[in-house]
């Protein structure tokens, strides 16, 4: 009878100790999955956007063709493909073959930009030349606030980066 009285409540204590670790592990797994989903969505969106850019080169502006695209078209395309990613956390950098750079930080700043891309100056839009798109995404997560950086200070966000380089085909 005395043995039973001494063990009373021990299951609750064990559940509490194991429960805290289990819940922390579960929340961490969900947060990591969300961060990876954001990264893969951004990487796929930047790749598909670069395919769109690569198919609208010099041949779209010559011979009576009128399918040239603008920086605003590219920004809108990326925004539409990056489903579930906040515009305020997504940045885009366009780089041409000859090093012409256009920054969209955040991406919403370029939605009304009517500059032709790839640029026709220096024949950057010639088929065979490379076009480079770089996207960065800053993720703020509750679990990240618990991590410490190499300097001993807490990390408040993580920045993911994705680069797509593709030759212009048309």
Strands (E), the chain: 69-70, 90-95, 101-104, 116-117, 130-139, 158-167
Spatial neighbors of 9 by CB under 8 A, at least 6 apart, are none
Are 57 and 126 a contacting pair, CB within 8 Å?
A: yes
Per-domain boundaries in the chain: 2-167
pTM (two decimals): 0.82
Query: What is the tens place of the pLDDT at every residue in 57-90?
Result: 887 777 677 788 999 999 999 999 999 999 999 9
Mean per-residue pLDDT for 38-67?
Answer: 88
pLDDT at 145: 62
């Amino acid at each position: 009878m005395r043995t039973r009285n001494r063990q009373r409540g021990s299951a609750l204590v064990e559940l509490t100790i194991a429960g805290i670790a289990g819940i922390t592990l579960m929340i961490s797994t969900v947060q990591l999955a969300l961060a990876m989903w954001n990264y893969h969505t951004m990487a796929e969106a930047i790749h598909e956007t670069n395919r769109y850019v690569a198919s609208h080169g010099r041949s779209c502006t010559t011979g009576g063709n009128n399918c040239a695209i603008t920086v605003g078209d590219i920004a809108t395309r990326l925004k539409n493909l990056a489903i579930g990613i906040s515009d305020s956390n997504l940045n885009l950098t366009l780089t041409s073959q000859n090093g012409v750079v256009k920054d969209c930080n955040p991406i919403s700043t370029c939605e009304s930009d009517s500059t032709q891309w790839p640029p026709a100056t220096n024949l950057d839009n010639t088929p065979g030349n490379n076009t480079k798109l770089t996207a960065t995404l800053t993720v703020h997560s509750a679990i990240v606030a618990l991590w410490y950086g190499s300097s001993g200070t807490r990390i408040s966000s993580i920045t993911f980066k994705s680069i797509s380089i593709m030759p212009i085909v048309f």
